[in-house]
Structure formats: C-alpha cells, structure tokens
Amino acid sequence: MNKSVSDKLAFPFVAVAILGFSSIPFLLGKSAETDALAFRGTYTDTADYAVHLAMMQAGRLGEWAYQLRFTSEEHNPAFIRLFYILLGHLSRLLNLDVETVFHAARWLFGLTALFAFDRLFHKAFPQKAHARFAFFLAVLGGGVGWLQLILGAPLEPISPIDLWLIDAYILFSISLFPAFSFTLTLMAAALYFFLQFLEDGEWRNVVWVSLLAVTSQMMNPIAFAVVDLSMAGAVLFTWWKHRKIDFKQGYALLLIAVVQVPLLLYNLWVLALDPIWSQFTRQNETLSPPLIFYLWGFAPFWLFAIVGIIRSLRERNPAMGAMSVWVAGGFFLAYLPVLIQRRFLLGVPIPLGALAIYGFQFLMAKLPASLQALKRRESLLCFTYVLFASVSSLFLILNSSLYVLTQPKALFYPREIQAAAQWLDENAAPGDFVLADVQTSQILAQRTRLKVYVGHEMETLYFHNKESAMKAYFNGTISAEWLSQTPVRWVVYGPYEAEINASFLPDSTLTLVHQNDAVKIYEVNLER
C-alpha cells in the first residue's frame, strides 16, 4: 500500500484513540453510578458543565438567543455564545436528551479539531515526520505540574495551571467541552486556508477564512483575535522574505478584518453597554496568574519553542512566523488590563508545538560531527521529548479516572435529586425559577427546563449576595417577605439544603407538592 495512503488511513484510528483515552474518566464515572448515587456527567468543572447543558435546554425549548438561566434579573436575550443553543435545537430535532447530544458533539468536534490540527501541521512542515511530532506535541503536551506535585513544591497561591486551566491545553479542552473543540477547529482551519492563500493566491481560501472568522464571532468572539494576529504575522514574514509588499495579501487581511467588525461591535455593545450583560462581563473574571505559572505550565514547550521562534526570524518562514506571532500575541493579550485575560490562550499549544518541533529539528541539524550518532536517532529523541511533554496530560486523565472511581461528592449526587428534577421538569412551567442550594441548582438547571435563582459564580449576577440570601432563607434568618420579592416559584429542600439547616421549617408561603425519601418540593403560593 502507498505510504501516504496508509498514513491517511491510520489518522482516524489515532484520532479515535486520543478521544477514547480522554473519555475514560466519563466512562468510569458512569460505570461508578449506583442505585443511590448519580454521576454529574463530567470529571471536573461541574459548574460550567451545568451552564452548558442549561443553555442546551434553552435551545431545546426553541430559543435562538441566549439568556442567563442562572440569574433572576430580567434582561434582553442576546445572540452570543450560540454553540450550545444550537446543540439544544439539534437535541430537539433528534429527540435525544441534551446530555447524549453534548457527549456526541464532544466526540464529533473533538475529531474535527484533531483533523484540522493535522492538516495545519502538514501545511507548516515539509517533512511528514515533523508534522506528526508537532501534532502529538500540541495535542498531548502540557506542563510539569505533575513533577511539582511529586516534589511537594506546588506554586502558590494556586496549583499548577496544567492541572486546571482547561482553555490552555488541547487534550484538556477537547476532552471536556465541545464548544472548545469547535472553536479550535475554526482557528486551525482558518490559519490553514490563509497559508494556502499565501501559496496560491486563490481568493476562495480568503472566503473560507472569512466564513470561519464570522462563525467564530458567533460562538466565541474572543478566540479569533490570536488567529487574526497570526495571519497578519504570516503576511509580514512573507513580505520580509520576498522584500516586497503584496497588496493583494494586504487586501485579503483587510477583508477578513472587515467581515468580523459587525459581530464584534454587536458583542461589544451587548457585553459592555447593556446594563445586565455588562454586569455579567464584570463577573466573568478570568485573569492570568503571575508569569511564572505560564513558564512552568508550558515548560516542555519552551525548551525548544524559543529556538523555533529565533529560527523563524532568521529564515523568515511565513508559516512559523504566523506561529511565533500567535504565541507572542496570545501572551501579550493575556496580560492586557481586561477581565478575560487567560481566555486568549485557547489553542496556544498549536503554535507552541509547531515552534518546538521546528526548533528541535534545527538543533538536530546543527549537531557537530562527533554527535552524528544522535542525529541518526532523531525520531527516537523526538518521540522521547514528546512523551516527556505529555506526562502532565496523561497524568491528568489517569488521575481523574482514579478519582471518579472514589465517587467523590463533587461529582456524584443522590438519586433522589434526579427524581425530583424529573418531577419538576414534568410539572413546572418552562422557565420557572427554583430556589435551592448551589449544588442542587446546578443539577436542576442541567436536567430540567427551569431556571435557578442562584447557581454559578459568573452566570448568577451578584452571586455572593444571592448565595447569602439563599442560605439565610433556609436558616430562617431572613424575612418571609423576601421570597415574595423574587420570581421564585419553587423551593427544593434536599440533602444539600439540609447541610445548610437540617431543621428547615417552611413558612405559610410554601405548599408541599412532592417529596421522596430525601427531597421535598414546595410550590410558592402566588397569593402572597
């Protein structure tokens, strides 16, 4: 069989193996369920998982614009962050529950992302072997957080970022959230088409980039900024290499920028000027940690990526110039005085992986004659390097797999809450508000068509005030009239609420309408 054909046939197996490995914690979590305990559906970040499924519930109800389902303030729906809304519509059309569609999308878009990375690296590297190593390094590479934990020297005041910063690591991203995989697909594919345009000058490639950019603005308006910078970098390196300004390439960049402006302005208008959405923006704080965390968090990449950046400058390589600008631009944006700093690092292992292999390849080519034996083992050395860089990601998945088998309280909840959620979904009006503990509220939001009064630090406006009010209500230390000032129609009292107050006594505004062994559901009397 032709080697190129066999390589193409092998890639689907590689991609499925990667997604399968990253899915082990989900499978073990599901298998660890018992008659008493249900799995939350994810092995980490259960709060955001609940938000995503709640957004899908909104789409399943027929909504096309996004409204916050974790806060009680009235606000205008907005056409932003549409990915999970659209998945919800797909769930309704296929008559499948939202969780099934979520995990099917996790696999589908995980595979498309891996394919897009593979194509991009083959475009950037003339040698297939180097493209293959860059692919594995970008997808599996992480930091050295595992080593810090072994040595008992974790950074303070937070733990190593490669063990929790989902956005910044490819395997972490595609393992958990299909929206990340979809956005990464758009980013990698756009850069691929633009590099192709620089080679052949065909405008159809610019049209593809423009469509991908607009789609990204609809799903994740932040992510494409680094791709815009990288494309500009590719053009500058091309002009530098040929010592000539090509106006056609400049016009292409201008077109790609212009098509993004309308949605960019719309997103800015909603998130910065609308009184409710602007409060959400202020709460959506994802600041970068001190720089030392990024140095350790990408330490295996930096080992050779810095050499790759220097080489890209010396050789004026447009593809690697694009990668260098992506890295520089990403980390520059990650320290701008904005609240979403680390969001700009989504996909940064893509250029870091390419540059690291580019640098590694350069150093191997420069080995002196006395070390030619090492050069003959270049593939083995590169494999060893990639394997070392991947330890953190492998550790993350395997450690998470062992963790879910212990049925931790953070990832499992009593079956009675699941039964209560089903009763509410069947008997309450879609969009009704529920008052419950934060943990219960997240479960209800992801499993029903209802909204919750308090449930997420970013999606619930004035979260800490509302959490305090909720706890005061169950403790009986707040006026009974407080409930009448909220849109709450249902109150749930179960195991998590009992941890707040084991002897909660409902007042006259509540009517018990359903109960099981562990959960009571009260309807709020409308004549209050």
Q: Quickly list DSSP for 28-86.
A: HHHHT--SSEEE-SSSS-HHHHHHHHHHHHHHHTT--SB--SS--S----BS-S-HHHH
* Residue 511 DSSP one-character state: E
What pLDDT is attached to residue 367? 81
What pLDDT is attached to residue 423? 97
Q: pLDDT tens digits, the chain, 528 residues: what are they?
A: 455 656 677 899 999 999 999 999 999 999 999 999 999 999 999 999 999 999 999 999 999 999 999 999 999 999 998 999 999 999 999 999 999 999 999 999 999 999 999 999 999 999 999 999 999 999 999 999 888 888 876 677 778 999 999 999 999 999 999 999 999 999 999 999 999 999 999 999 999 999 999 999 999 989 999 999 999 999 999 999 999 999 999 999 999 999 999 999 999 999 999 999 999 999 988 999 999 999 999 999 999 999 999 999 999 999 999 999 999 999 999 999 999 999 999 999 999 999 999 999 999 988 886 677 777 788 999 999 999 999 999 999 999 999 999 999 999 999 999 999 999 999 999 999 999 999 999 999 999 999 999 999 999 999 999 999 999 999 999 987 899 899 999 999 999 999 999 999 998 899 999 999 999 999 998 764
Amino acid in the structure at residue 124? A
Do residues 187 and 224 touch, judged by C-beta distance below 8 A? Answer: yes
- C-alpha to C-alpha distance for 272 and 80, rounded to whole angstroms: 13
| 400 to 25, 42, 45, 322, 395: CA distances (angstroms) | 6, 10, 12, 35, 8
- C-alpha to C-alpha distance for 60 and 362, rounded to whole angstroms: 52
- The pTM score is 0.95
Which secondary structure element, helix H or strand E, spans residue 521, and what is its range?
Answer: strand 520-524
Pull the structure tokens for residue 391: 């330890």
What pLDDT is attached to residue 346? 97
Give the E-state strand segments of 153-258 in sequence order: none
Verify cis geometry, omega within 30 degrees of 0, for the bond prior to 77. Answer: no
- C-alpha to C-alpha distance for 155 and 499, rounded to whole angstroms: 32
What pLDDT is attached to residue 527? 65
- C-alpha to C-alpha distance for 171 and 68, rounded to whole angstroms: 28
- C-alpha to C-alpha distance for 101 and 113, rounded to whole angstroms: 18
| 89 to 23, 98, 322: CA distances (angstroms) | 25, 9, 37
Q: Quickly list DSSP for 237-253.
A: HHHHHHTS--HHHHHHH
What pLDDT is attached to residue 40? 97
Which SS3 state, helix, strand or coil, does residue 153 take?
A: coil
Closest CA to 188 of 176, 196, 198, 200: 196
Do residues 87 and 105 touch, judged by C-beta distance below 8 A? Answer: yes
- C-alpha to C-alpha distance for 405 and 292, rounded to whole angstroms: 33
How big is the CA angle at 180 (ends 256 and 83), to the nearest 5 degrees?
A: 75
Which SS3 state, helix, strand or coil, does residue 226 take?
A: helix
